[in-house]
A and B are shown apart, each in its own frame.
Chain A
Amino acid sequence: DADVTQTPRNRITKTGKRIMLECSQTKGHDRMYWYRQDPGLGLRLIYYSFDVKDINKGEISDGYSVSRQAQAKFSLSLESAIPNQTALYFCATSDRTETNTGELFFGEGSRLTVL
């Protein structure tokens, strides 16, 4: 089983609908992240959380919200989806140790299409 699991893996929805992408991890990491990937733009950070009580905006948080329900769960919501939110979304985790290697562990991605 994957250490970082995202659901759903694929979703097609319509403009204006509310969408939630869920992420759960079994790695025991404190830090969790949501990124989106668009062709030619690389991965961009939406939100990140260092623990259950610590949530921070990334570079492109407008139109998104998150919830850290537990150490192992971090969900991303689109309150009213729009077509330019069509993208591949990745959840990731990392360890907080001082010797952090910069390694993020990614889920397999959630492909969202907004019509």
Chain B
Amino acid sequence: RKEVEQDPGPFNVPEGATVAFNCTYSNSASQSFFWYRQDCRKEPKLLMSVYSSGNEDGRFTAQLNRASQYISLLIRDSKLSDSATYLCVPAMDSSYKLIFGSGTRLLVRP
């Protein structure tokens, strides 16, 4: 079983839609959780950290369920610029032991 599993997509949604991605992780010792965004042929960039039971940053909401070992990302009011691949990243310790998922691709159409 992969350490981090994500639906590769693509999720194809119209502008303004709400879309959610799930991610499951296998290591119950994971302590920190992050979502990164990666545009096509570009480097990954931190989108948001996931704290305790979840947090919100504008149109983005991240949720963590430790008991079921999954993390979710909800994007409301999708914009064309949200089109990207979203990487789920649990971490054993801060920084050096980040385990990157292979990502979920989102396409937002006009």
Contacts and interface: CB of A to CB of B under 8 A. Distances in A.
A43 B100 contact: yes
Interface residues of B, number: 22
A64 interface: no
Contacts of B41: 109
Interface of B: 4, 8, 32, 34, 41-46, 49, 87, 89, 91, 94-96, 98, 100-103
Interface of A: 31, 33, 35, 40-45, 48, 50, 56, 90, 94, 96, 100-104, 106-109
Given A40-B102, A42-B102, A109-B43, A33 B96 contact: yes
A42 B44 CA distance: 11
Contacts of A102: 32, 34, 46, 49, 89, 91, 94-95, 98
A45 B89 CA distance: 13
Contacts of B42: 108-109
A48 B102 CA distance: 20
Please name the 7 residue pairs, one residue from A and one from B, whose CB atoms are nearest each other, closest first: A106-B43, A42-B102, A100-B94, A43-B100, A42-B100, A103-B46, A94-B95
